[in-house]
Amino acid sequence: MTTAAAAASPPQNPYEFTREEYNVLVQKTPNAQLSKRSEYEEVELVEDCTLYDLYRQPRAPVTDPRATKTLPVRVLNAELTCPICLGVIRSTMVVMECLHRFCGECIQKCLRLSNRECPSCRIHIPSKRSLRRDENFDALISKIYPDLAAFERDEAKLIEEINRSRHYNNAFTESAKVGAQNQEKIRRQLGNGGGKKKATESEALPTAAPSNGRAARREKKRSVSESASDASSANDSTSHSEEDDEVARKRLRGSSASGLSSSGPPSSAGAAAPSVVNIRVVLHPDESADAPRMKSSMFVTPTALKIGSLKRQIARFLNLSSTESMRMVLPRTNCEASGLNRAAATPGSGVAIRKDLLFDQELENHLSIDDIYQQYQSDAAWELLLQYHFSDAIVNGVAQFISAASK
């Protein structure tokens, strides 16, 4: 029993560390220098050893043959990965000059391309004769990864999911492109269907209203000059020419009024998008109560304004030094405010709501206000609502949309 207990207990360090003994050792040490390896200010008594290394109690040896140590495979990935292809090493070959391991095909290709140096330490490799097969390492990999192909498939799937969750904001950009393409297709269809109608209207009304004030002035001058030339050719008096000028002006105003009344108001598709819009920026309802809040939430801003510039403007209002923790959210309530829900519910309208607009989306800094308005397939006459917050606990709706779609 005594022998078994002594074997199970850890060996005792014969030295005891005290401040007095340490001072005595320092006095006896010639040319004492501070240790560079230690985090504390201590004298290096033994080369490359700290006081902890000298006086620590050793661990008890593992004597149980059934004792096991479990490690996740990912801990060993760095040791089993080829530095060239970044995959698990296959057909292991060792560089004898530095004992670094690589895939046989990878290191041979490097030497074949006249890159005669180790990819890990850049030591010179004279030729292929400096390479040796390491079958023991291949056997170790086969023990750790019995089915290497299945492991690589699982790794590729995991990397894809990580990239999808990390770059989920790109979904908004992609959906913006798809929405713009759908709008262009709808405009093209409406243009092809309304071509005959426009031609008929142009035949019925050959004189249309001037498109701008400059054209109206040219038309007025032309009418005045024609009436003046007619009056001079008829050799009338000055009073008659003035009456003709007045008649010409009345005729011009009448034709312009008839053209405007017949042409009607411009359609939303042909009208130019406004350069300035009204947006409302409020604090996210799920944000904490002590978060900074703006006194005024209404902004009159150009449509070319970027989300990053809007964040900086809000930071100035809130007296914040930076916008790193600020996030801008596009709430799903904008579908109702823009009338997109009513348009999609109308049968035969051809309008569909993208599913990502039904979730709260976190906006990227490179997006502009005009890009956001284009997603709702309507003009900018309605008031856009944006929400800002500073908390990481608020879940991004696009991530929920992607996870729901993947299921």
DSSP category for residue 364? P
Q: Determine the Cα–Cα distance for residues 144 and 146; give it in Å rounded to an integer.
A: 6
pTM of the model: 0.34
Q: Return mean pLDDT, the chain.
A: 75
Examine the pLDDT at 206 and tell me if it is beyond 50. Answer: no
Say what the pLDDT of residue 252 is: 45
pLDDT tens digits for 29-58?
Answer: 888 888 888 888 888 888 888 888 877 777
Mean pLDDT of the 292-304 span: 84
Residue 235 banded pLDDT, cuts 50, 70, 90 = very low
DSSP 95-150: ETTT--EEEHHHHHHHHHTT--B-TTT--B--SGGGEEE-HHHHHHHHHH-SSHHH
Enter the tokens of residue 360: 């709260």
CA distances, 382 to each of 302, 338, 372 (Å)? 14, 6, 12
Q: Which residues are registered as beta bridge partners of 46?
A: 49
Say what the pLDDT of residue 205 is: 41
Mean pLDDT of the 267-282 span: 67
- Percent of the chain scored above 90 by pLDDT? 13
- The number of angstroms, rounded, from the C-alpha of 267 to the middle of its chain's C-alpha atoms is 36
DSSP 253-277: HHHHHHHHHHH-SPPTTTSPPPSEE
CB 247 within 8 A of CB 227: yes
Residue 215 banded pLDDT, cuts 50, 70, 90 = low
**Between 405 and 191, residue with greater pLDDT:** 191
Q: Determine the Cα–Cα distance for residues 68 and 209; give it in Å rounded to an integer.
A: 92
For residue 80, give the nearest of 144, 26, 28 by alpha carbon.
144
Examine the pLDDT at 117 and tell me if it is beyond 50. Answer: yes
Residue 140 banded pLDDT, cuts 50, 70, 90 = very high
pLDDT tens digits for 47-97?
Answer: 888 888 877 777 788 888 888 888 887 788 888 999 999 999 999 999 999
